[in-house]
């Protein structure tokens, strides 16, 4: 299959490649016109209060439990320099995450953005523990999912459900608005079994200062800080440049993310030439439908 977004090539240069894919594929229906326009223009939009109090309380209880006592059904990633749990992956096959992934509103949004049937490519809770958790360096998720998972096109998005309030103080997500419209091809070969180290601290596929400067100039110098209430959900495009700092506050910033990918955008051979990553970071449509019909 032709590689429209070559990255991690032998080149030692960063290179900007114009996006050839639409941002929203489907007809209007689930998003308000404002949300649809905002998502298309800046690459993200916030849906307030997706979860009701009861759903949120159940989610908080389960997340608390998983942090302290994770069973074999999920895959734990710890902080780079400690055994503090950073993330758990591969949870959308178990309650209550399976039900949440099948949330009617979320599925209608997935159908609108993906333009048809969608499935969960990845699920995770990032715990962002108080005073302990390091952040995530700037990156495009699609750059990894394309190179290492074989995701052909930009027809995929993340739904980040806020388990806790995301404030200015507890390591909130930062995004470069509009950066989803350009793909940043990064130098550097993908190491074998890269996901083991990558999920704790990404090294390949990340911008340098010069490419960050260019993206920020294109965005009018803006870095948007995403603050949200517990129960809100942030929808963001697979190619939006984002990152977050450490949590130096006494308040946890846990978020649950489902990544919805169009069935028509199913994974092919990884474009980096390595083996597929394990199913807990890169599901396949046949393996785990999110209840999206």
Q: Note the residues at the interface with ligand 6CS (CB under 6 A).
A: 122, 124, 136, 139, 141, 144, 198-199, 202, 281
CB 176 within 8 A of CB 240: yes
The nearer residue to ligand 6CS, 30 or 240, going by C-beta atoms, is: 240
- The bridge status of strand 85-89 relative to strand 75-78 is antiparallel
Q: Cα–Cα distance between 104 and 292 in angstroms, integer? A: 9
> Min. distance of Cβ 79 from ligand 6CS in angstroms?
14
Q: What share of the chain is helix, strand, coil (3-state, %, to 5)?
A: 25, 25, 50
> Min. distance of Cβ 257 from Fe ion in angstroms?
8
With H, G, I as helix, E, B as strand and everything else as coil, classify residue 62. Answer: helix
141 binds Fe ion (CB under 5 A): yes
Binding-residue pattern over the window 18 to 57 for Fe ion, x denoting contact by CB under 5 A? ----------------------------------------
- Measuring CA to CA, which residue among 288, 291, 283 is closest to residue 122? 283
143 binds Fe ion (CB under 5 A): no
Q: Could you tell me the two tokens for 27?
A: 């007809």
The nearer residue to ligand 6CS, 107 or 190, going by C-beta atoms, is: 190
> Min. distance of Cβ 249 from ligand 6CS in angstroms?
21
> Min. distance of Cβ 224 from ligand 6CS in angstroms?
17
- Buried (b) or exposed (e) across 189-226, using 16+ Cβ within 10 A? ebeeebbeebbbebebbbbeeebbeebeebbeeebbeb
164 binds Fe ion (CB under 5 A): no
Q: Answer with the entry of ligand 6CS, Fe ion, none that 8 interacts with (C-beta below 5 to 8 A by kind).
A: none
> Min. distance of Cβ 253 from Fe ion in angstroms?
14
The nearer residue to ligand 6CS, 8 or 36, going by C-beta atoms, is: 8
Q: Cα–Cα distance between 203 and 205 in angstroms, integer? A: 7
Partners of 159 in beta bridges:
235, 258
| 27-35, 45-53, 93-101, 141-149 -> range binding Fe ion (CB under 5 A) | 141-149
Interface ranges with Fe ion (CB under 5 A): 141
């Amino acid at each position: 299959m032709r590689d429209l977004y070559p990255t991690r090539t032998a080149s030692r240069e960063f290179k900007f490649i114009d996006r050839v894919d639409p941002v929203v594929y489907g007809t209007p229906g689930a998003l308000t016109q404002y949300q649809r326009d905002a998502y298309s223009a800046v690459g993200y939009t916030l849906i307030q209060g997706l979860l009701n109090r009861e759903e949120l309380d159940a989610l908080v209880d389960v997340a608390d439990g998983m942090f302290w006592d994770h069973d074999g059904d999920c895959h734990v990633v710890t902080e780079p320099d400690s055994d503090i749990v950073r993330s758990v992956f591969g949870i959308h096959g178990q309650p209550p995450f399976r039900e949440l992934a099948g949330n009617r509103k979320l599925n209608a949004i997935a159908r609108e953005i993906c333009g048809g049937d969608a499935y969960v490519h990845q699920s995770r809770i990032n715990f962002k523990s108080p005073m302990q958790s390091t952040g995530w360096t700037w990156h495009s998720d699609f750059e990894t999912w394309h190179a290492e998972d074989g995701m052909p096109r930009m027809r995929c998005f993340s739904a980040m459900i806020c388990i806790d309030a995301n404030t200015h103080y507890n390591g909130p997500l930062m995004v470069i608005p509009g950066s989803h419209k350009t793909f940043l091809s990064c130098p550097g070969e993908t190491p074998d079994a890269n996901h083991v180290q990558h999920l704790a601290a990404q090294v390949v596929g990340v911008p340098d200062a010069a490419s960050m400067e260019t993206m920020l100039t294109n965005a009018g110098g803006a870095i948007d800080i995403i603050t949200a209430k517990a129960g809100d959900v942030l929808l963001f495009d697979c190619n939006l440049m984002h990152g977050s700092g450490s949590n130096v506050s006494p308040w946890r910033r846990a978020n649950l993310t489902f990544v919805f990918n169009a069935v028509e955008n199913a994974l092919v051979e990884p474009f980096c030439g390595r083996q597929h990553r394990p199913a807990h970071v890169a599901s396949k449509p046949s393996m785990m439908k999110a209840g999206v019909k």
